[in-house]
């Protein structure tokens, strides 16, 4: 695999590592940032919900987008890791939820 991977962890042994190229969209508002990932065929496979500092969802959406599009190759980019308190933006307070749907 010749691409970057995005890493998320809720702090409760719920983790996701997904190719950055599978990011479909980032939706922000009401102090949360929702990230949607698709399969190469376009089917929605997973979502990640990040909680952010009060009134900063737009800023975090922009910084996450910049981190993802930064041109990194063959790296794991930590977006939100609650287990180790590592975030790509200091305004992210938690990785609130990871949902994966791999049904055929």
What sign does the dihedral 48-100-78-6 (CA atoms) show?
negative
Share of the chain above pLDDT 70, in %: 93
Whether the Cβ atoms of residue 32 and residue 53 lie closer than 8 Å to each other: no
Task: For the chain, give the mean pLDDT.
Answer: 91
SS3 74: coil
Banded pLDDT at 101 (limits 50, 70, 90): confident
Phi-psi group of 30: left, alpha or beta (phi > 0 → left; psi -120 to 50 → alpha; rest → beta): left
Q: Is 33 exposed, middle or buried (0-12, 13-18, 19+ CB in 10 A)?
A: buried
Q: What is the DSSP letter of 39?
A: -
Q: What is the pLDDT of residues 19-51, one digit of tens each?
A: 998 999 999 999 999 999 998 777 888 999 999
| The pLDDT value given to residue 104 | 55
């Amino acid at each position: 695999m010749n691409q970057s991977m995005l890493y998320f962890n809720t702090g409760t042994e719920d983790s996701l590592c997904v190719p950055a190229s599978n990011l479909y969209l980032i939706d922000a508002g009401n102090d949360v940032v929702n990230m949607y990932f698709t399969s190469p065929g376009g089917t929605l496979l997973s979502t990640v919900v990040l909680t952010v500092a009060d009134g900063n969802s737009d800023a975090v959406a922009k910084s996450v987008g910049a981190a993802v599009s930064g041109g990194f190759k063959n790296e794991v980019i930590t977006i939100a890791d609650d287990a180790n308190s590592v975030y790509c933006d200091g305004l992210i307070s938690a990785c609130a939820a990871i949902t994966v749907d791999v049904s055929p």
